[in-house]
Amino acid sequence: MPPNARIIRRTFSVAEDFLAELHPVLQRIYQARQVGTREELEKSLDRLISPAQLKGIDEASALLADALRGQKRILIVADFDADGATSCALGMRALRSLGASDVRYLVPNRFEFGYGLTPEIVALAAEQNPDLIVTVDNGISSLEGVKAARERGIDVLITDHHLPGESLPQATVIVNPNQPADAFPSKNLAGVGVIFYVMLALRARLRASGWYTERNIAEPNFARLLDLVALGTVADVVPLDANNRILVSQGLKRINLGQPCAGIEALLRVAGRQPRRVTAMDLGYIVGPRLNAAGRLTDMSLGIECLLTDDVAVAKSMAQQLDALNRERRSIEATMQQQAIAEVEGLQLDMNALPRGLCLFHESWHQGVIGIVAARIKQRVHRPVIAFALVSETEIKGSARSVPGLHIRDALDAIAARHPHMLRKFGGHAMAAGLTLERRHFESFRDAFDEEVSRHLSDDDLQGLVISDGELTPDEISLPVAELLRDAGPWGQGFPEPLFDGLFDVATQRVVGEKHLKLGLRLPGGVKTLDAIAFNSIHDGKLPTYSRVRAAYKLDVNEYQGYRSLQLILEHLEHADTVVPETAAAVTD
């Protein structure tokens, strides 16, 4: 729950005609998310943007088709997060099903090699004598690594979605919707979405050339790969524009029908989730973290192998290992978060106010977990945060998380331009980025970062906002409406899950699981008690006392032993004597 936040209500325009047939709650939710056409709500695969609109897609499919016909060795080089793992598994599964005779993968260990196709990774890859390297979810900034590969006579196909720098690597082919002069309408594809599109184009090219008849193999149905696309897209927190919503919706549909790959099903079941009721939130908060745990603490190969196996028993064993790693990650994170909070509180005592751009560093911090800590502290203080960990005695690595109003990668780019020798490397998105610098530059970078953030964000920008879809009537706070909203997604980044606010009397309150606040709420003057829970809201074991509250909440369907009931998930809670929420003319999530 963000402290010192205020509730802002979205505005709702006049309903479009195509929305008139929908439930009134859905009408205003879709209006607030600026859904302007019926097509934006359609989720069938035939509404996907054509692969032909991606720059380099024809050259990429031709390169891969040539590799298949020539029985060349293909090596996929993946990133070590969930997007990279799903991208790698999808590429491996797709190429094998298309008849590739020799396809392998290599995922850098983040602690030994760092991110991307570096010259060191190329040297390691060269030991396998590949004819073609295919990067997934990385490569657009790998100028030196691509150069090293080409000098060894290895072709390089880059598939990536990260923002490019001023110069592009001299790869054989690049497919990235964010590269210059690419007219692809959706710039929000995750890495797994990019490689999925490349595989669609390759499949079509092989079909046109008579490949399947020649080889006497069936043309594969790539819809079976959409569970991987959905997982990687949600886990990478890319905006769910209309095209990504189709990909995620279709992937969820396969999972709900009991058709996920063995690894995804095992990861769900080890977390106590039934595939038939899985939502996008489950992929983001349940499956993604367990998959990411391998890359954060050990080696993402475990996660990739879990997604590649078709053996149910093997998948279960690997999922259990990933679950154990995730529990270890949570323990490490808890310690680091306590240390970060102590540092933040110390800064507030010393300076009375925190810097607008906050940099935190502790010698004992685990470099695989700093991104999560940066995100947690960002939520707490609502300002851009970079958490740093030691890489060596002389180098530190940072993971950055931003807030609306500051494009974090552009901010790092501006710092690099003004201080050419400060940053060794950096890259990322608008809301998240990574960087490395020499340890001796930490204080200078900290000041430069605060200065750059202050150019873009005022003190008012640093106040937390809770963006609400308004109040619900007593009849709308119901299980049927919760079910309706659950099916109306997928919800996620850029297309947020509906959040409502209202006044409630507190009938009961207690602590569950040591850090969650369980409440019984009633509408003023009402008699019906509503179950509500505020996760991770108890600090230092102190139970707050409420009588009447204003709450921002989501409607959730709680399932227990086959019984389904309504539950309010509280995102924000404040005493009811505060001001009534204001209405914003425009809101940016």
- Over residues 115-129, the pLDDT tens digits come to 789 999 999 999 999
Q: What is the pLDDT of residue 585?
A: 46
| Whether the Cβ atoms of residue 7 and residue 464 lie closer than 8 Å to each other | no
Indicate whether 383 pLDDT > 90: yes
Contacts of 186 (CB under 8 A, 6+ apart): 49, 177, 241, 242, 243, 244
Query: Which domains occur in the chain, in start order?
Result: 6-11+465-583 (2.40.50.460), 49-322 (3.90.1640.30), 353-462 (3.10.310.30)
Average pLDDT over residues 254-259: 96
pLDDT at position 62 is 98
CA distances (Å), 252 to each of 243, 261, 474, 553, in order? 14, 12, 31, 24
Of the candidate ranges 105-109, 209-213, 579-583, the one whose mean pLDDT is the lowest: 579-583
Kindly tell me the burial class for residue 339, based on how many C-beta atoms sit within 10 Å of its own C-beta (0-12, 13-18, 19 or more).
Answer: middle
Least confident of 211-225, 340-354, 452-466, 514-528: 340-354
- For residues 331 and 314, give the distance between their C-alpha atoms in angstroms, rounded to a whole number: 26
CA distances from 264 to 34, 191, 230, 237, 269 (A): 33, 18, 11, 18, 9
Radius of gyration for the alpha carbons in the chain, expressed in angstroms and rounded: 24
Determine what percent of the chain is predicted with pLDDT higher than 70.
95
Q: For residue 38, what are its two tokens?
A: 């019926």
Could you please report the per-residue DSSP string of 438-501?
EGGGHHHHHHHHHHHHHHH--TGGGS-EEEE-----TTTSSHHHHHHHHHT---BTTBPPP-EE
Nearest-angstrom CA–CA distance, 507 and 6: 24
Query: What number of other Cβ atoms are within 10 A of residue 268's Cβ?
Result: 22
pLDDT at 281 over 90: yes
| C-alpha span between 344 and 351 (Å, rounded) | 10
Three-class secondary structure of residue 548 per DSSP: strand
- Edge-to-edge strands of the sheet including 385-390? 358-361, 385-390, 395-401, 432-438, 423-428
3-class DSSP state for residue 512?
strand
With vertex at residue 401, the alpha carbon angle to CA 377 and CA 90, rounded to the nearest 5 degrees, is: 120
| 3-state SS class at 532 | strand
> Is the distance from CB of 248 to CB of 280 less than 8 angstroms?
yes
CA dihedral 472, 478, 482, 485 (to 10 degrees): -50
DSSP-derived 3-state class of residue 143: helix
The average pLDDT across 523-534 equals 93
* Predicted pLDDT of residue 589: 54
- Residue 586's pLDDT is 47
Dihedral sign (CA 107, 111, 117, 121): negative
d(CA 238, CA 235): 8
Is 90 exceeded by the pLDDT of residue 66?
Answer: yes
478-489 pLDDT tens trace: 999 999 999 999
272: number of Cβ within 10 Å: 7
Q: Are 495 and 481 in contact (CB under 8 A)?
A: no
Note whether 486 and 569 are within 8 A (CB): no
579 vs 258: which has the higher pLDDT: 258
Predicted confidence band of residue 471 (pLDDT cuts 50, 70, 90): very high
Give the residue carrying structure tokens 């073609």.
Answer: 132
Q: What is the mean pLDDT of residues 137-160?
A: 96
| Lowest-confidence pick of 3-12, 236-245, 360-369, 498-507 | 3-12
Residue 385 half-sphere exposure toward CB, CA atoms < 13 A: 24
Q: Which helix (H) or strand (E) holds 543?
A: none
What are the φ and ψ backbone dihedral angles of 378, each rounded to 5 degrees?
-60, -45
- CA separation for the pair 301, 108 (Å, rounded): 9
DSSP helix/strand/coil, 567: strand
Cα–Cα distance between 549 and 552 in angstroms, integer? 10
Q: How far apart are CA 490 and CA 195, in angstroms?
A: 21
Please give the C-alpha separations between residue 405 and each of 354, 385, 588, in angstroms, as whole numbers.
18, 14, 9
Cα 359–Cα 365–Cα 369 angle in degrees, nearest 5: 85
